Structure 1
């Protein structure tokens, strides 16, 4: 039954994929099957393997990345596994069999995605880890934002608004290395204040699958365990922040600053209304363009100049880390609106 579901999932997702390549995909069942280049020419062929399209931001990444590849004369095919690790590995195998020159991967599970790197390298295909780092594998390159700095910025803004009291940390999915980095960054700010006794960390939990409903349940538990006396919340992204805010409102608790991340429309709307203290804007245009440039360079065998290295538990992965931006009520128009990332009318409503 499990294998049937996985197969149906792959078939369903494949029918919804946007692909610029021409011609039918060759049949193949194993990663080491003979590779057949799907494209009829010598243009670079890039495979984009997404964790999910269940979250708003990944539609933006997909569209921007595909356009950047196409604008530079490359072919691209995107597959999304929607959180199913086995499906994501099978999709990577499919793209390898179709003759991609490079795989760009947004891993669902940082550890399990190491299998994708092994299969790609066995076929002579290099792997670029996109936004999230694949752990314990010989990943060729990594492009992301400074994710530990994201956590630092989240905690700094919340501490500025609420320097004392009971804090809750509502993290992302522990299987996502970014979520671990966000927490590390936040704790580098909070721990000295905890040690001084200014702050009490009364709740600290990751959120399975980044699920807002799970975050809401976790926050409800935090409130119940502490008699509703939670003074501040560091939430890892806008989805978890939305769940936190729902729990606070259900408990009749107001005035609690809550962080976020991703600058999703719903999150920025809450920031504008004052129900969410801040979000982190990671310009997706920048990371998609950077990743597309790197993917095409890899496909052409051109050397890539990286700016740093990030250890993934096995090697120091050559990396390019971009700068995130904190968004508060005061700078919405100067950040996400100015960059045309979100529309002012969508954030504030029609005048």
Structure 2
């Protein structure tokens, strides 16, 4: 009987294990998997569902010296006691702490999976500190994987590391499940009547965290301006606010609350019907590692306006399955949204191609195959 090697997968908070949906079932076939994250119910539910082990260690998302030292000490003890063969580190804080602990405990294989670059959204001392954390994480890793070619390029350009960085297939953390994200799936419903959206309304949509970094201030401002000029338009916002981490401007909140054509749908576990209600997905984010929601929208045959930033511009081909615009630019966003309203035939034509493009580059099972080949190479 072959004894499976121990694989520890670490994230700061358990909601990040969404990156491993379905993938954990494949990984447990080859490895003895343990999920490590802050001790929240989502950690234990994810582990139970995937029939893998779990261990809770509280880790703060923001920099907190005392809390971070306590977390590091607990990771050191756990690694020393349980002796993993491989560490798969994700999210900036979880990676920094776990890679540091794994290096000290001489864990043989230490994988740093870079999903995004947190320092890109900061300035001054905090930016320097976050960049230093990235450099330390890369130094302690034996293998570095970037979620996209753009992230790989920036890691080298910003002199975070000189080491070789791997991108699995065409990138993304988990690919896209085209059987699930299918506009013809039986679970996809017409939710427009639920929100009093008429069939001839043109719906702009957003899915994700309703925060400054996602460009929500610019999106709401652009839509509010369009709403004064055009009738039969709606803005569907699917997601939650994070006022304690990245709050929106007060005037943005005010517009959202008073404009009856802006619809707050809140957090939704199954987003497919909401994507299906959109004519055009709008994603004016300031920074991304990849832009998973763009893949999900494209799989549902919804074209997009997206910021021309790393990751996103590997999913959206300008004037093919959407439009690329500079981030943090309300005027250009407004003009592109206006163009969409005045050229609906172009949007309809675009809606025929996104799914095929996504299938060719990011189909989930093909990505899993390439990922497992990588694991086999470095672990056995």
TM-score by length of 2: 0.30
